[in-house]
Amino acid sequence: MEKFISKVNRIEGELRVPSDKSISHRSIILTSLADGKSEVRHFLKAGDTLTTLNCYRKLGIRIEESNQVISVYGKGLKGLKEPEDIIDMGNSGTTTRLTMGVLSGQSFFTVMTGDDSLKRRPMGRVAKPLIKMGAKIDGRNNCNNLPLSVRGGNLTGIEFFNEKSSAQVKSALLLAGLYADGKTTVIEPIISRDHTEKMLISMGANITTEIYDTEYRVSIKSVDRLEPIKVDVPADPSSAAFFVAAAVLVKNSHIKLKDVLVNPTRDGFFRKLKEMGADIEYINHRTEGGEMVADIIVKHSHLKGVKVVKEEVPSMVDEIPLLAIVATQAEGETVITGAQELRVKESDRIKAVVNNLRNLGVEVEELEDGMIIKGPQKIKGGTVDSYKDHRIAMGFAILGLIAEDGIKIKDADCVFISYPEFFKHLEYVSK
């Protein structure tokens, strides 16, 4: 599907964007391991999260929906069953990597595959430490690519340095640690998103966290059971980011985004925009289910260029392509470094952003681990390629709002992966 986005006069209104993708995934995966019925409200129904639902149903978990509440009938830590067929993980790296950790503690055999994009994404970063714990994992390219097979076994806890501060790697090892003899410890140079730790603590897991100046440590030991819980999933900051960016870029704009997750491991994009001069305010700040939530008020702003360094990347890794797009309208130079992780997402997001900006006539320099953008630059318009990556498609849709001749986006239907109603919501707030 091609989608044309034309220039608008302003962005205005009030919106609750879809619920957080990361927490939605974990609300199904972790509660499937609980003893008894858990309830999930405001679950995100999008391509990746529906993949998680389907996966755990195939692993024997009863999952029902009534009155917009998802009920997960957990069967305990050892209650999953061997699937009758290969499990298709679609495009979801989160489902795949976290489930590898779960399956490493089971006593049966499972094979996972995915779409063409997921088959290219690196799985060795999870497989290798799980193999050290005692899991039997095999797959393409020395366990680095799907399809992969997992046969769980008797696991032993390890200490692992999570060099890239990947939340998916950390979560997979913590889930495997639920089944391991001894203690499993993950050390990070920069704390990655910590939803798994928070949810496991609420379920009664034997987990401890320590934050030092130079590292973050989280340790887990096995338990006999996890308690069922009730989860109310807040709005996704990564989805909210597109409308924050739209209001900042389009003149005379003013928008309110409700119930947004503002966990400090996730709101780096908003903090960086404030540093650029954006008029962004958190109101009605509260804690819900152990997570920090707020409503966000955003107005059109004049921006200046900034630097993004490696230590800032984990808290805004999904929003960096959008930040680069916003930076085209900032006064001066924006330099993004330390973001090589973007090369192994649904697309090579560094190359995707650079190629598309150049196709639109924007001056940008590609770095191995980021890019340099000079601004402000006039956006005339043209055609961009989404590379079938939802965040690339949505990011350039936002740029289309200020492009003189609009922007046409190829394969725009990929937004279903995380935000099925994106274009409908964009039209709703565009005036």
Per-residue tens of pLDDT for the chain, all 431 residues: 999 999 999 999 999 999 999 999 999 999 999 999 999 999 999 999 999 999 999 999 999 999 889 999 999 999 999 999 999 999 999 999 999 999 999 999 999 999 999 999 999 999 999 999 999 999 999 999 999 999 998 999 999 999 999 999 999 999 999 999 999 999 999 999 999 999 999 999 999 999 998 899 999 999 999 999 999 999 999 999 999 999 999 999 999 999 999 999 999 999 999 999 999 999 999 998 889 999 999 999 999 999 999 999 999 999 999 999 999 999 999 999 999 999 999 999 999 999 999 999 999 999 999 999 999 999 999 999 999 999 999 999 999 999 999 999 999 999 999 999 999 999 999 99
Tokens 């996890």, residue? 226
State the Cα–Cα distance between residues 397 and 390, nearest whole angstrom. Answer: 11
Query: Annotated active-site positions, please?
Result: 318
With left for phi above 0 and alpha for psi between -120 and 50, is residue 57 left, alpha or beta?
alpha
Instruction: Return the amino acid letter for 123.
Output: M
CA 29 to chain centre: 15
Instruction: Return the amino acid letter for 228.
Output: P
State the Cα–Cα distance between residues 357 and 278, nearest whole angstrom. Answer: 22
At 417, phi and psi to the nearest 5? Answer: -55, -40
**Residue 134 token pair:** 């005692």
State the Cα–Cα distance between residues 387 and 347, nearest whole angstrom. Answer: 6
Strand 364-367 and strand 370-375: pairing?
antiparallel
**Residue 201 token pair:** 């603590």
Q: What is the pTM of this model?
A: 0.93
Domains of the chain: 3-19+234-429 (3.65.10.10), 21-232 (3.65.10.10)
State the Cα–Cα distance between residues 193 and 344, nearest whole angstrom. Answer: 18
E strands in 222-272: 230-232, 254-261
